Chains A and B, each alone.
Chain A
């Protein structure tokens, strides 16, 4: 696994598990879960500073940007203009050109607005951003995003926060065959086996937030996800056996008593 590094636009990612920092009980738990996950990339949101309560703690007091790659998102943005605004602010607040681009099309499902997403990807890529768009599990959209300059594509396994797992593994497989950029499953992973399935399909990484943060024991789940991603990646690299209808004995027949 040492030589199996994920590199995107020259940036080396040690972990194939990426972790969100929302929905935790407090910053202490966030930090513990992130440490247990073994990740080196965390997503964050961009929001107004609380001007009138300067004693409130900052996420970056707990998550050291020297230790972790900070991947800001444009979560909560419903238009191209909003997403561009947040991305530009994020770049200025942070230390890199990376942005997890979200242009949401529907409040109930949080499915992406793919037209807006492609447009925003194109604009941000031209501005020098390293764009990671959160998209549908649609191979055609994935290709359009790649053509628009996306550094990777991040198809959903299932709706954000749903924990429904990889609902359409066949589409994820087709996306993997369609685009050359890395494919990172974003959203829907509910438990360890979901993460493993994504990695066994050949995905380059998995991004998880709710599946870890809202588990009964987030720190334990973070550790489970870490192992699940490693297991799935190893199984993918090892190459699974073909599925067969009938048995195939694994013990020799030679030397039996009759």
Chain B
């Protein structure tokens, strides 16, 4: 189990941690973050990624309002080198 470094006020004890599945790994976040907040906390440039929550692609324009909930399966993808085929 990995833990996020997100402690809004530096006090984990007061936060309600929430479990999600992020890119195939269990992950804990402090409460229902928006996607924008999640990406920011991970230092991910939202302009270069696509996000899927429970198999639904979330539009970039909704990152600021879309909230992640307990048990959500989140996938964050970006472009990598590739031509034909590629490894699975």
Residues on A facing B (Cβ under 8 Å): 19-24, 27, 30, 43-49, 51-52, 54, 58-60, 70, 72-73, 75-76, 85, 88-94, 102, 104, 110, 134, 160-161, 186-187, 207-210, 213
Give every chain A residue within 8 A of B44 (Cβ-Cβ): 49, 54
Nearest CB on A from B82, distance (A): 3
Contact B84 A48 (CB under 8 A): no
Contact A76 B85 (CB under 8 A): yes
Contact A48 B85 (CB under 8 A): no
Given A43-B82, A45-B81, A89-B50, 17 new contacts (CB under 8 A): A43-B84, A44-B81, A45-B79, A48-B77, A49-B44, A49-B76, A51-B22, A54-B44, A58-B79, A59-B79, A75-B84, A76-B88, A92-B58, A92-B60, A93-B77, A94-B79, A209-B83
Contact A58 B86 (CB under 8 A): no
Give every chain A residue within 8 A of B42 (Cβ-Cβ): 51, 54
Give every chain A residue within 8 A of B76 (Cβ-Cβ): 48-49, 51
- Total A-B pairs, Cβ < 8 A: 127
Can you list 6 pairs linking A and B with CB atoms under 8 Å apart? A22-B84, A44-B82, A49-B49, A60-B78, A89-B52, A161-B84
Residue of A92, A104, A134, A186 ringed by the most chain B CB atoms within 10 A: A92
Contact B84 A186 (CB under 8 A): yes
Which residues of B in the span 1-42 have a Cβ within 8 Å of any Cβ on A?
A: 2, 22-25, 42
Give every chain B residue within 8 A of A30 (Cβ-Cβ): 81
How many chain B residues touch the partner (CB < 8 A)?
A: 32
Give every chain B residue within 8 A of A20 (Cβ-Cβ): 81-84
Contact B80 A45 (CB under 8 A): yes
Residue of B51, B78, B82 ringed by the most chain A CB atoms within 10 A: B82
Contact A47 B80 (CB under 8 A): yes
Give every chain B residue within 8 A of A89 (Cβ-Cβ): 50, 52, 57, 75, 77
Give every chain A residue within 8 A of B23 (Cβ-Cβ): 48-49, 51
Known contacts A48-B75, A58-B78; is A23 also within 8 Å of B22 by CB? no
Contact B83 A22 (CB under 8 A): yes
